[in-house]
Amino acid sequence: MPAVTETIETVQSMTESTYKWGFETDIEMEFAPKGLNEDIVRFISAKKNEPAWLLEWRLRAFAVWKTMEEPRWAAVKYPPIDYQDSYYYAAPKEKVGPKSLDEVDPELLKTYAKLGIPLREQEILAGVEGAGSTPAEGRMPIAIDAVFDSVSVATSYKERLGKEGIIFCSISEAVQNHPDLVKKYLGSVVPQGDNFFAALNSAVFTDGSFVYIPKGVRCPMELSTYFRINAKSTGQFERTLIIADAGSHVSYLEGCTAPMRDENQLHAAVVELVAMDDATIKYSTVQNWYPGDAEGKGGIYNFVTKRGACRGARSKISWTQVETGSAITWKYPSCILQGEDSVGEFYSVAITNNYQQADTGTKMFHIGPRTKSTIVSKGISAGHGQNTYRGLVRIGAKATAARNFTQCDSLLIGDLCGAHTVPYIENRCVSAKVEHEATTSRIAEDQLFYCRQRGLTQEEAVGLIVNGFCREVLKELPMEFAVEAQKLLQISLEGSVG
């Protein structure tokens, strides 16, 4: 049997049993009634004790959303979503900080354990008092804002960050404690009516993270959020806002796994980044939501709007993403390069296996002079997976000497999958330079055999070769994430071993 055939079969034999993190935590939920209307928007806002301006803001978004239609231009197919058949608010009841892990809901702890989260981080995640004051030895300290379902269960390292004047909290807390910052920046990068999903998010977002790094501060640790989608049929509408003031620097990690379930789940997050003069924001994502079973049943619909504004001169925003999960991924982390000499980067690995569909890429808007962008996209398709890179590089008339370099590589495993590259380039500036390179390749039989002759199993060989293919992107990830991501790549392409 030729290697390619076997690889196809290996890949095809993947079942939901290979999704190691499919489980559901049973924590008492407080639900808003099913459906979406103005009352629900008011309910959410009231639950969160929001100021009037924010309720107004949400209602405006809702009004716009009602007039909008779901986008259809992406190369993804899915049955119509019934927006009235979903819950838009769910919160775990437990609110007071436990004294030790013994007091934490054991279900929650089990969830963390299955996620492979180290004990210390579990404590932090669960909001155990005093946890996280001393970072584990030899590790870069990580501050975690755990989004368990919709409400942040815990935030950590607050004190240490507080000393530097850094604000890292849930967006709900930010609304209460730092309303001026929120009011000033919320929607300033992704306006309420930006697109259908962003409008929906603006109307009903329940929680997310808020970060403010003051002038000249280099954030002493990686900031991290573990996203979890937990309640059945609860759409997730995270809202993240990160502001890096002049000369500051921050690295933010977003990682997610989700429980297995049959119904498709909608996830429509919005992430807004703002970088002022000489500020740098590095935003890294490892996305591993339930992709659906081998027949394509179930799985998360991931419709995300992520955008960063390089407002200041010499500012830099760097997106790195490893997308292995979700049934559908619709995601274009973008950079608005406004400040002169500002830099935008997009490093992406997207895997589609079985019946997964990914339409992902980036948009780089060059507005200021000498702005620079780099795009490196690695798409891997296996099974019946469909992988589309969709990118836009727009260079405005004033973006003199702007530069873009784009590299899109596709790796195909098997004959039933597809890879597509859709690069749009709009250049209104003669002095700008835009370069685009694209390749498509397959894992060669001799590569697999070479690895297997050296003792690696077929899966390990595929994993190793795929990791090699993605190296340029993986090396952009913070160390801890890189290891996790490498494992994920292999798991996502693993057959039922044996």
Binding site for another protein (CB under 8 A): 1-3, 6, 444-447, 449-458, 460, 464-465, 467-472
Least CB distance to another protein at residue 465 (A) = 6
| Residue number, 3 or 166, with CB nearest to another protein | 3
Least CB distance to another protein at residue 381 (A) = 18
Least CB distance to another protein at residue 5 (A) = 9
| Residue number, 130 or 468, with CB nearest to another protein | 468
| Residue number, 229 or 322, with CB nearest to another protein | 322
| Residue number, 428 or 454, with CB nearest to another protein | 454
| Residue number, 124 or 470, with CB nearest to another protein | 470
Least CB distance to another protein at residue 10 (A) = 12
- For residue 39, the one-letter residue type is D
Least CB distance to another protein at residue 444 (A) = 8
| Residue number, 40 or 466, with CB nearest to another protein | 466
| Residue number, 194 or 409, with CB nearest to another protein | 409
* Per-residue H/E/C for the chain: CCHHHHHHHHHHCCCHHHCCCCCCCCCCEEECCCCCCHHHHHHHHHHCCCCHHHHHHHHHHHHHHHHCCCCCCCCCCCCCCCHHHCECCEEECCCCCCCCHHHCCHHHHHHHHHHCCCHHHHHHHCCCCCCCCCCCCCCCCEEEEEEECCEEEEECCHHHHHHCCCEEEEHHHHHHHCHHHHHHHCCCCCCCCCCHHHHHHHHHCCECEEEEECCCCECCCEEEEEEECCCCCECECEEEEEEECCCCEEEEEEEEECCCCCCCEEECCEEEEEECCCCEEEEEEEEECCCCCCCCCCCEEEEEEEEEEECCCCCEEEEEEEECCCCEEEECCEEEECCCCCEEEEEEEEEECCCCEEEEEEEEEECCCCCEEEEEEEEEEECCCEEEEEEEEEECCCCCCCEEEEEEEEEEECCCCEEEEEEEEEECCCCCEEEEEEEEEECCHHHHHHHHHCCCCHHHHHHHHHHHHCHHHHCCCCHHHHHHHHHHHHHHCCCCCC
Measured between alpha carbons, how far is 51 from 65 in angstroms, rounded to an integer?
21
Neighbour-count burial of 400, counting CB atoms closer than 10 A to its CB (0-12 exposed, 13-18 middle, 19+ buried): middle
Least CB distance to another protein at residue 448 (A) = 8
Pairing of strands 209-213, 167-170: antiparallel
Least CB distance to another protein at residue 393 (A) = 25
| Residue number, 244 or 477, with CB nearest to another protein | 477
| Residue number, 440 or 467, with CB nearest to another protein | 467
Query: Tokens 């409008």 — which residue?
Result: 199
Least CB distance to another protein at residue 301 (A) = 31
| Residue number, 202 or 324, with CB nearest to another protein | 324
Least CB distance to another protein at residue 409 (A) = 10
C-alpha separations of 350 from 42, 121, 128, 144, 177 in Å: 37, 27, 35, 25, 37
| Residue number, 1 or 430, with CB nearest to another protein | 1
Least CB distance to another protein at residue 458 (A) = 8
Measured between alpha carbons, how far is 482 from 267 in angstroms, rounded to an integer?
24
Least CB distance to another protein at residue 484 (A) = 16
Measured between alpha carbons, how far is 317 from 319 in angstroms, rounded to an integer?
7
| Residue number, 151 or 461, with CB nearest to another protein | 461
Least CB distance to another protein at residue 304 (A) = 27
